[in-house]
Amino acid sequence: MPTTVNAVGAHEAGKPLTPVTIQRRDVGPHDVQLDILYCGICHSDMNFVDGSFGPLPVSPLVPGHEIVGRVIETGSAVTRHQVGDLVGIGCMANSCRECENCRAGQEQYCLGGHTLVFGSPDPAEPGAHTQGGYSEAIVAPEDFVVRVPETLDAAAAPLLCAGITVYAPLKRFAAGPGTRVAVVGLGGLGHLGVKMAKAMGAEVTVLSRSDSKRDAAAALGADHYAATGDGTAFTELTNTFDLILNTVSAPISLADYLGLLRLRGTMISVGVTTQPMPLDLFPLLQNGRSYAGSLFGGIAETQEMLDFAAEHKVTADIELIGAHDINTAYARINASDVRYRFVIDGSTFKGLTA
């Protein structure tokens, strides 16, 4: 029989989230069920809830795709996980697993379209949509559940989206000793970008509009800091960086930042904005520069990232909250009042009344 669980969800775009109850499907032969210990809050959760991504795909919609929990049940054919394991679920709950991208371990680029942890039609339950981690428990295919090193605990939750979102492009473009990496923005993504790049051995500079985050950047391990608001930094830092990781979720002047790249340098955008950004080809032609995008990471890559984070002691800086604090957390994120990620204590869903 399906399991009824407490959750927090949205009934209408642009309205506050409220307690709800949802049904979790039966555990199939290749599924695992998690008791959710922690769930991070990602800015894209808010984009779904506030209508930035369009109407809600289902009502109620339960967000949350940075999930850490304990396995409490496994299907008869499960081989990767056991009851009691500390595990995580990130952005995806499924993919076709057959296209060339999936076979290459890049399920996020599934040619048939990956299944999001929340808000996607659920191939395991025709007619239903996936529901996310703002809840007591979740059922997912074992192949989309990763092992979480015990040393990471609550701080691991944001790694399952923000962590892999910055790790994957830094690894792809060979950040490491001898490379100069600039991180644009010092928020939920940016602070992990600094930590990951430093752990890989790169020389890291934070680029932010004002000088207000200079001390915070230094505390995170950044080697340098430049305020870009008055424009002088774009002249002083011309031809400086091998990689620029853009983590901000707002339009920026791409031409200004592309001019900071050295010979054959690359700028990668990982922050999501719904507004267009003009791209002039001339800064790309100069110095043979490149501009790229990156969307989180594949499952094997996410496991690799978690193991790397545990080895190098890379964790997100978090503020732990209860389920009743989610709407307040959303408002604080919009006001840039968090350093640097909110994580919901999963035990607080158990006492909710819908």
Phi/psi zone of residue 92: left (φ > 0), alpha (ψ -120 to 50 degrees), beta? beta
Distance CA 317, CA 295 (A): 22
Q: What is this structure's pTM?
A: 0.95
The per-residue pLDDT for 97 is: 96
Query: Hey, what are 346's tokens?
Result: 């999963």
Alpha carbon 139 to its chain's center: 20
Residues 266-320: tens digit of each pLDDT: 999 999 887 888 888 998 999 999 999 999 999 999 999 999 999 999 999 999 9
Residue count (the chain): 354
Whether domain 3-161+316-349 has CATH 3.90.1520.10? no
- State both tokens at 92: 């995806």
> pLDDT tens digits, residue range 57-82?
999 999 999 999 999 999 999 999 99
**What pLDDT score does 272 carry?**
81
**pLDDT tens-digit series, residues 95-138:** 999 999 999 999 999 999 999 999 999 999 999 999 999 999 99
Domain extent listing, the chain: 3-161+316-349, 163-293
Do the bridges between strand 18-24 and strand 31-40 make them parallel or antiparallel, or are there none, so unpaired? Answer: unpaired
Residue pLDDT, tens place only, 216-260: 999 999 999 999 999 999 999 999 999 999 999 888 999 999 999
What pLDDT score does 24 carry?
97
What whole-number distance in Å separates Cα of residue 5 and Cα of residue 62?
A: 12
Express each pLDDT in 143-195 by its tens digit.
Answer: 999 999 999 988 899 999 999 999 999 999 999 999 999 999 999 999 999 99
Q: What value does the mean pLDDT of the chain take?
A: 96
Q: What is the DSSP string of 162-175?
A: HHHHHHHHHHHTT-
Question: Other C-beta atoms within 10 Å of 282: how many?
Answer: 9
User: 163-293, what's its fold?
Assistant: Rossmann fold (3.40.50)
Torsion of CA 110, 145, 247, 170, to 10 degrees: -80
Tell me the DSSP string of 320-340: EE-GGGHHHHHHHHHTT--SS
Mean pLDDT of the 75-95 span:
98
| Angstrom distance (rounded) from CA 40 to CA 5 | 18
Q: How far apart are the first and last CA of the chain?
A: 21
Q: What is the pLDDT of residue 1?
A: 54
In 3D space, the residue among 120, 121, 139 whose CA is nearest the CA of residue 63 turns out to be 120
Q: What is the pLDDT of residue 211?
A: 95
Q: What is the pLDDT of residue 273?
A: 81
State the pLDDT at residue 33. 98
